[in-house]
Structure formats: C-alpha cells, structure tokens
C-alpha cells in the first residue's frame, strides 16, 4: 500500500478547573516546569528567571506559593506516550484492505498554487463503506450536512442537529480511545468528571462564533471536519471521510498530493491539493483511515495541552505534529476559547 504524509488549562491546586482549561501563549498557567521551546513567546521552565524570559505571571503560578501545580502540566514526553496509546486503541480505524488510494501526481513546491489538475482519476479507488455503519462513523457523518459552508451566513441550529451533536459525543465516549483521553486529562486536573469533559467538548467544538460580518457563522467542528469557503478559497476541510463522500458525489476534484511519509498502515496522513465546487485548496492535510474519535480526540488533546502552539506527537514510532489555534475574538463559559482550527503538520 502506498502511503502519503503532509510535511508541512491548566490544573490548579484548588482542584476545580472550570474557566482555567486553556493555556494562553503568554501565561504560565498550567505550564510550570514545561520544557523550553523556541516556539514559545515566553517561558515557564525553572531556568527562565536566569535567562530573563519568563512570562509575566511566572512567579504567581510557578513560585513557591503559586497556585498552578507543575505536576499538572503536560510534558512533551507525556504527549508522545499518550498519542502512541491512542494510536494503539483506535479499534475502529480502517484496515489496509478497507481503502485503496490513487495518489497519482506528486506536486512540487512551485506547483501547489497553480490550480492545475494533474491527476485525472479520483484519489479514492475504493473505500469499504461498511466502516460507515460503525456507530462513531454513522453519528459523525450525520453532522456533516448541518452547515452552510460560506462564511458570513449565520448558522441555524435545529433541535435535531443538537441531538446529532449529543449522539456523536455519546458514541465517541463509549470508545476505549476517548475514555483513555478523559482519564489522562482528569489525572491532570483538567476535568473533575466525564460530564464536565463532554460538555466542554461540545462547547469548544460546536459552539458558534463569527468569522465574518458579525454573524454566528462558524464553529471548530464545521471548519475542521466539514470545511468552509471564505473569500473564494476552501478554508479548513481536514477530514478524509468528508473528502471521500464529496468526491464520490462529484463535487470535490482531487488535483495532486505534495508529500509522502513513513506509515504503511492506517491512520495515515496525506497532503493534497483539490477543488470543491471550483473553490481551491492549495495545501490541505488530513489523517487517512482513522476513526472519527481518533482525529477528534487527538485534536482535542492538542488544543487543551498546546493551544496556539505545535503539539509534538508520536504515532507508530513516527513523529508528527498537530497545530491548533483558539478563536480569540469571543469566548464561552468563564473566558474559555473555542477551537478556531486544528490540523496535522510536519514533525
């Protein structure tokens, strides 16, 4: 099988963490003892005082009397170990025989932006659609037609659509993968109960905010998994199931892929160029063949542990990174941030 890869909150001592789930890039909340990274705009490791590059609230959170426990910070090593565990318990992923890809043309750096279709055949030669009858897949697919893709047009959420959101969350939380993720976050004092975790997942992923013209026109789930069109270009759209279903309908046209990688089984990762009803995506990325809960869980982990920064993971012994960004123009709850985007990138 050919495979392809795209190169491209914190716990507090008081226990209850509502309103303190997300780490701001310029804060030490939940980051005490975190390893040094050049990507950080300020630092919270023990040596930062000597180097005069601590965040302004370092002493308040990480000093002797600080209320942000360093033991509740999530280290890079823990992220690598947990991501390998999640990779290992993705029981609903595709088997190698379930998907046949036809990647065709590999685009060079000077070709990704020219909107030329260099692959006459579809990307997917075959997908075993029996996968889609699994409960997490079926409940995920029901969500995909709930959105208007154009930004600037307010989303109208029906009672049925709210039930579909709840059903999806209910199904993914039945999986070993999401239970393992919850227990890890609970152990880091991010959540006191599964109910709190599920409610926050619903808000961060499905809560509406405005990307354009002040309308409540977007959500993290819509952007990442269903895809949007903004200013004449495809925005988001990082899900393999969505791509396959729309390609099958003839409304997505695969142009080329631009990177390959080390995986010889699923989940795999693909970097690609395509058009969606004539709107172009110059460089996209998606996990291929993973279950919905794997992608949903991995992105949620990275958003909670490294919002706005690269989240370095390991899958099957191979490193890769996920980038997430919080939506900064509006909040929910006690100042918590919605997900603006999440996508897999190069290691």
Output DSSP code: residue 306: S
What dihedral angle (degrees, nearest 10) is formed by the CA atoms of 225, 262, 310, 283? -50
Output DSSP code: residue 117: -
Return the beta strands (E) in the chain as ranges: 99-101, 124-127, 228-230, 233-235, 252-259, 268-276, 279-288, 310-315, 318-332, 336-345
Residue 273 burial class via C-beta count within 10 angstroms: exposed 0-12, middle 13-18, buried 19 and up:
buried
Cα separation, 173 vs 186, in Å, equals 14
Contact 326, 340 (CB under 8 A): yes
C-alpha distances (whole Å) from 121 to each of 168, 230, 257, 268, 272 are 33, 27, 13, 20, 14
Contact 38, 25 (CB under 8 A): no
Helices 135-143 and 292-305 cross at an angle (nearest 10°) of: 70
Residue 211 burial class via C-beta count within 10 angstroms: exposed 0-12, middle 13-18, buried 19 and up:
buried
Tokens of 4: 């392809």
Q: Looking at the annotation, which residues are catalytic?
A: 223, 238, 281
DSSP letters spanning 227-271? -EEETTEEE---BHHHHHHHHHHT-EEEEEEEE--S-SSSSEEEE
């Amino acid at each position: 099988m050919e495979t392809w890869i795209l190169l491209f909150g914190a716990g507090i001592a008081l226990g209850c963490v509502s309103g303190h789930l997300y780490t701001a890039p310029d804060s030490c909340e939940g980051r005490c003892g975190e390893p040094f990274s050049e990507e950080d705009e300020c630092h919270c490791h023990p040596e930062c005082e000597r180097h005069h590059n601590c965040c302004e609230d370092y002493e308040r959170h990480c000093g002797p009397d600080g209320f942000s426990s360093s033991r509740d910070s999530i280290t890079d090593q823990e992220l690598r170990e947990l991501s390998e565990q999640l990779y290992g318990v993705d029981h609903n992923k595709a088997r190698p025989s379930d998907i046949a890809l036809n990647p065709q043309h590999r685009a060079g750096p000077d070709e990704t932006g020219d909107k030329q279709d260099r692959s006459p055949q579809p990307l997917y030669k075959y997908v075993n659609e029996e996968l889609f009858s699994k409960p997490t897949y079926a409940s995920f697919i029901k969500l995909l037609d709930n959105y208007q893709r154009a930004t600037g047009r307010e989303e109208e959420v029906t009672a049925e659509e709210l039930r579909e959101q709840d059903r999806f969350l209910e199904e993914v939380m039945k999986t070993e993968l999401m239970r393992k993720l919850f227990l890890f976050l609970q152990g880091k004092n991010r959540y006191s109960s599964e109910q709190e975790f599920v409610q926050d997942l619903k808000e961060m992923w499905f809560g509406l905010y405005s990307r354009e013209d002040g309308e409540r026109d977007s959500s993290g789930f819509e952007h990442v998994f269903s895809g949007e069109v903004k200013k004449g270009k495809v925005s988001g759209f990082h899900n393999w199931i969505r791509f396959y279903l729309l390609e099958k309908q003839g409304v997505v046209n695969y142009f080329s892929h631009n990177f390959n990688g080390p995986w010889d089984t699923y989940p795999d990762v693909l970097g690609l160029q395509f058009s969606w009803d004539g709107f172009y995506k110059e460089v996209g990325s998606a996990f291929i063949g993973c279950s919905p809960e794997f992608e949903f869980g991995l992105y949620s982990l990275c958003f909670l542990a490294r919002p706005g920064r690269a989240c370095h993971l390991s899958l099957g012994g191979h490193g890769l990174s996920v980038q997430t960004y919080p939506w900064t123009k509006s909040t929910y709850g006690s100042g918590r941030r919605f997900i603006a985007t999440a996508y897999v990138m190069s290691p």
